[in-house]
Chain A
């Protein structure tokens, strides 16, 4: 199975500053037939299910603020929050769905206000 590893495990960022979360997969999640990376990013707040932020590694879900962006390809990916807001305090997960039906998640990154 594909193993997803996030870094850091947690970070504290000042309001209005940039937050960067990295995600690395143990094998490529790029499908060469359609040139899409099967990599999604979720945000989870306490007591809530995960909320989809980014799919195909860089496509923002409808309604997600444009301060959230995703980048990367193959095995290395990044989620960036360009200007951290108070409501962005949450745990963020990357997930791969490259292998049909098989999901694996990173361990999560907790984002807090400094």
Chain B
């Protein structure tokens, strides 16, 4: 059974850091690029960051560029998102999702990040 499980969310003050993790099971993690998609309360979906299957390519939304870093450990089937210099506008549910939805669409249940003083 395919599963993506995010963790690491919580309440953090502006300017602080947080690291999210996403553990994958049930599919060959190393064969696929992986995405972090976020959704602010009551808003739509935004692709925050993506990493190629071998980690060789990374892309970031302009809103997080220079502050967030995506990475992966294929030996641990785990995806990460290091979030630095957090702002209130980073408050959102963060989902990890597998690339190539036509080849199986897998999303985690999400982890909530709240940036507030």
Q: A residues near B, CB below 8 A?
A: 40, 42, 44, 48-52, 55-56, 59, 61, 91, 93, 95, 97, 101-108
- Residue pair A93, B44 in contact (C-beta under 8 Å): yes
**How many angstroms between the C-alpha atoms of A91 and B43 in the bound complex?**
10
- Residue pair A50, B47 in contact (C-beta under 8 Å): no
- Residue pair A101, B107 in contact (C-beta under 8 Å): no
**How many angstroms between the C-alpha atoms of A104 and B62 in the bound complex?**
13
Q: Separation in Å of the B89 CB from the closest CB of chain A?
A: 17
- Residue pair A105, B47 in contact (C-beta under 8 Å): yes
Closest residue to A107 on the B side, CB-wise? B44
Inside 8 A of A95's CB, which chain B residues have their CB? Answer: 45, 101
Inside 8 A of A102's CB, which chain B residues have their CB? Answer: 47, 50, 59
Inside 8 A of A55's CB, which chain B residues have their CB? Answer: 101-102, 105
B33 at the interface (CB under 8 A from A): yes
| In the complex with contacts A52-B101, A55-B101, A55-B102, A105-B107 CB distance below 8 A | no
| In the complex with contacts A55-B101, A61-B105, A49-B95 CB distance below 8 A | yes
B12 at the interface (CB under 8 A from A): no
- Residue pair A56, B37 in contact (C-beta under 8 Å): no
A sample of 19 inter-chain contacts (CB < 8 A) reads A40-B102, A48-B109, A49-B108, A49-B109, A50-B107, A55-B101, A61-B105, A97-B99, A97-B101, A101-B50, A101-B51, A102-B47, A102-B50, A102-B59, A105-B44, A105-B46, A105-B47, A107-B44, A108-B45
- With an 8 Å Cβ cutoff, the count of chain B residues facing the other chain is 23
Q: Separation in Å of the B99 CB from the closest CB of chain A?
A: 6
Closest residue to B53 on the A side, CB-wise? A101
Against A, the Cβ 8 Å flags (1 = close, 0 = not) of B23-56 are 0000000000101010000001111001110000
- Residue pair B99, A101 in contact (C-beta under 8 Å): yes
Q: Separation in Å of the A25 CB from the closest CB of chain B?
A: 15
Inside 8 A of B44's CB, which chain A residues have their CB? Answer: 91, 93, 105-108
**How many angstroms between the C-alpha atoms of A106 and B45 in the bound complex?**
8
Against A, the Cβ 8 Å flags (1 = close, 0 = not) of B93-107 are 001010111100101
**How many angstroms between the C-alpha atoms of A42 and B107 in the bound complex?**
12
